[in-house]
Structure 1
């Protein structure tokens, strides 16, 4: 019995700051040693083993850890296990009932509140998830337990992200990093760093995203944290997409979302599908985009993500022929109204505005792009807002902020047209002509033509000279 308790303690330490595959095996050993005489402790070890397998993205390991009798045959723990198994086996109709009972019967014990938060997230009830996470955090603070605080903050930050409340998620994750480090929970800190990267990707701050993602990936690769790694990679890809680099975003996301052994964490990769579809379509990789839409449709039908139905309609609009795309964009916007969230709605409005502009429906495009700009500015998505201003300028409307940006350009760059200036800035950042064309929704020939005009107007002879001039005068 003493050995069983020792293995449980060792497994928990490894789960907090060590290779999670090792933690799972240690915890399963503790289960076998404690089952006969301390069934409640054995059950705690079993659920911790499930957590370890989950962090590793090991679906078979999760199912194996769930096997066996439990001490709590009728309470919240039993319901949690009864709901997790069919969910992992892709039988969500059998999972919903037990997981809802976990949500209803959670008390003020921290472990029960954290299970309640997990159950709510799995069912897409972000309101309950946020409430349970906040209650768990309050209890952890009352107990002055940094380890419990860091875990509660992890679920709370993730719930805020799922709700589209990125600023709140960032605040919780920043506190989570500090408390996790204080508690010696490096793996939890890595999850918080990944969520900070994802929150920063909305803003489009590449340096901040890169720093947080690198910190998360360093620990994730060393300790086998597939969930943290998938979140961090998604954050970098979303930054690429917001900054007008769809090829880079598609290259990074492809291995995570397309079928194969490299696919990302089983509970996370589906969340990144809408980003991948958008990036792949803009990059001209339509077959790859179509390959994941059917899987995403099944995910949206399950109802675990309130934004998924609108995102699905947006994905279908991106891939649809012209006679169907407009209606699908409008359907997506209607579904955004039900789900809420400025960022996702603004992304759909931006894509719809681009689509309308390419078809010379300029008045409708102006209205849609203007609404997208307001949405991006409201949630602080600076890179996406700048992308939208560029679309408005290309649509023939400078706008107050867009015009101000143009007036700030000095020297020879002031002689360029708005379209030429946009192309010059993309080229100065290292984009190829094809990447510029994809980002601006124009043909490569159009980029070639304008770039020749840029070179002639500025008197430069190479892309390197152009980059130096833009750096000196235009930023």
Structure 2
């Protein structure tokens, strides 16, 4: 019910009582689940394994649930051997679920979901994709008719493993509705987490941010600091494409504080990736390459086993810009295998983009075009716009201005559409360098500002400080700071002087009503 502070003392009392093994096993199961959401995940792993051993003789379905939760704890910790050990099949039931369905029919619906997920997840981690697709696909399929939040959460998780982001969104949304309907408050933040991850994998950062903001609030309200850290990492990744470095830093700091205390390797990897992507977007490739190198290059500090590959395209781009081409070879080989698997809809296009960055001039153009064609198949404005931006930069440096102008214009439109302000600024800078976008040519961008943003932009352009603007408009300085960041992102400007110049040119070119947001 989302009241772990009430559950913990009861669990302590239960541990000290002389209860039957099945009762003690259920107490350890609850304890482990509580620690998984709000405590060191290594402790949660051990509690859940103990629960499984106590429950196995009399409650095999509950034992399977505990075992799979123990694997979840090892996953969160980034401990691949422990995760595989927890997923080890029982000696008398070592066939994949899709080849041995009789025990599942007898065990019931939830037991079938748990066992199929266990079989499929282990096969996936072992790289036996052919043996993973059927059981995980069955878990996803069961989610179409399930009405219990636990089964629907497993359906969403299985869909994410398979890279089916649409099914993950459906499963997460149904799990959220079911958790609310049954009053399972503790499961609401987890459903929102899966929803946010699915939107993030699909490149829909704004939707991911919306789910993660609600997930963070509910996780904190229900005493789930680990789940809150996951949501903060998602929020940092969403903000990393915008002109909001302070927002990225705030969420990353909070996420890493919990991750380091509770051993959350997955959270730490996502948070570090968010910081590096923000650096890359702001034109700081050396910083981005240094940070990403620790995550993706082989070594003891490499990121989470199931997450670091997602950061490889960012690392390749940063490394090339920083002149560290040779470091990309090994990780690209691994990334090619990941792309071939198909669990990430953007990976094939990103792989082609990486090869284009590293290719000689006679091959790069074709690889960029191939990458854009793959983006058209996968969808997602942000990644396609990034490829178009890199292609446009390449074309401009090869003195092909007409083609470069087209690619950069496409990139700018894509970034504007998905709210990637920091990347839109890069595209505008390239267009200005081409002479295709003068300092005053983008004044129509003022029409995209809200009335409040336009008023603030005008006052700042006249030389007012943020505090002076706040006093004039009777709002807080923090509100002015927030809206001014949005103005900078929307207009692609990086200084108050540049903003003043754009506002002046806009008002000279076309009068704008002083109280409206549109001319």
- CA separation of 1:334 and 1:31: change in aligned 2, threshold 3 A: same
**Correspondence for 1:82 among 115, 119, 133:** 119
Summarize the alignment of residues 117-196 of structure 1 with structure 2, pairs less than 5 Å apart: 117-196=156-235
Q: 1: CA distance between counterparts of 2:306 and 2:156?
A: 15
Of 56, 68, 72, the residue aligned with 1:47 is: 68
CA distance in 2 between partners of 1:167 and 1:67 (Å): 39
Q: CA deviation at 1:183?
A: 1.2
The gaps in structure 1 that reach 5 residues or longer are 412-469
1:407-450 per-residue CA deviation (whole Å, 9 max, x = no partner) reads x9999xxxxxxxxxxxxxxxxxxxxxxxxxxxxxxxxxxxxxxx
Aligned to 2:356: 317
Contact 1:25 1:49 in 2 (8 A): yes
Higher mean alpha-carbon deviation, 38-47 vs 375-384, is at: 38-47
> For 1:62 and 1:401, how far apart are their aligned partners in 2?
57
Q: Deviations over 1:278-305 (max 9, x none)?
A: 0000000000122211111000000000
Partner SS for 2:173: helix
Distance 2:495 2:154 in 1: 51
* 1:236 aligned residue: 275
Aligned-partner Cα distance in 2 for 1:329–1:368 = 11
Contact in 2 for aligned 1:198/1:209 (Cα 8 Å): yes
Q: Secondary structure of 1:203's partner?
A: coil
Conserved? CA contact 2:64–2:115, under 8 Å: no
Contact residue 461 and residue 496 of structure 2 kept, 8 A: no
Distance 1:187 1:400 in 2: 46
Of stretches 73-82 and 355-364 in structure 1, the one that deviates more from structure 2 is 73-82
Counterpart contact for 1:80–1:98, Cα < 8 Å: yes
Instruction: Select the residue among 246, 254, 259 that pairs with 2:293.
Output: 254
Contact 2:205 2:238 in 1 (8 A): yes
SS in 2 for 1:204: coil
CA contact (8 A) 2:229 2:255 kept: yes
CA offsets, 1:48-86, max 9 Å, x none?
101100101111111111124389942222211111111
8 Å CA contact 1:393, 1:402 repeated in 2 = no
Alignment of 1:34-73 (within 5 A): 34-69=55-90, 73=103
5+ long unaligned stretches in structure 2: 1-20, 105-111, 446-457, 463-493, 500-519
Distance 1:143 1:369, change over 3 A: same
Q: Deviations over 1:356-413 (max 9, x none)?
A: 01110011101100110000001111110011110111112225766549xx9999xx
In structure 1, the residue corresponding to 2:241 is in which secondary structure? helix
Normalising by the residue count of structure 1, what TM-score does the alignment of the two structures yield? Answer: 0.84
Q: Offset of 1:227 from its aligned partner?
A: 0.6
TM-score (norm. length: structure 2): 0.77
1:102 aligns with 2:136: no
Aligned residues: 417
Which of residues 354, 373, 397 is equivalent to 1:334? 373
